[in-house]
Structure 1
């Protein structure tokens, strides 16, 4: 289940809290993952996103079991694979950290190559 939150402009704290609690209860009851896509603050060019990037929506990472960001430098090489980073900023049931992945702009495709990590 994928939910897109359009609550980017105003701090609707109570509404977000109510929605997050209900989604978490729903996910636990049905034992399914729910992915919530949330627009975050655009930090300075090139800076990696952090939990603080949620700005006025900090209730989301407080309630979420996992917070994962996709980050890549904005490079104009449309025809080539480029490095990107999967940033696990919060993980209630395991470690946090970064994983280098590859991004292909033409198809908006991400891939992980285990051979490149070694």
Structure 2
């Protein structure tokens, strides 16, 4: 009976030590939530900036095309072909940009995370 009591006391001591470790980890959670919300805000801001950049870039394409038209050359067909070739190139090469799908997956994941954390 005495040895059984001693074993139970040892087990309680072990559980209390484990409990202290877990409580310490739990105190870190609020600061991690704050960091996560800051990162989410930065990501949202970067997405807005990226969208604005793409819009500005696309808006500058007609301006560049107009500058081609303002400077006629002797051979107007070659000038036309160079403009046509210019517009055939996509802004983002999806085939070579393997990070595109990874970024999309990450975006989807990050959109789900705040609802899980709260």
| TM-score (structure 1 length as normaliser) | 0.22
Structure with greater helix share of residues: 2
The structure that has the greater radius of gyration is 2
Structure with greater strand share of residues: 1
Q: Which has the higher contact order (CA 8 A, sep 6+)?
A: 2
| TM-score (structure 2 length as normaliser) | 0.22
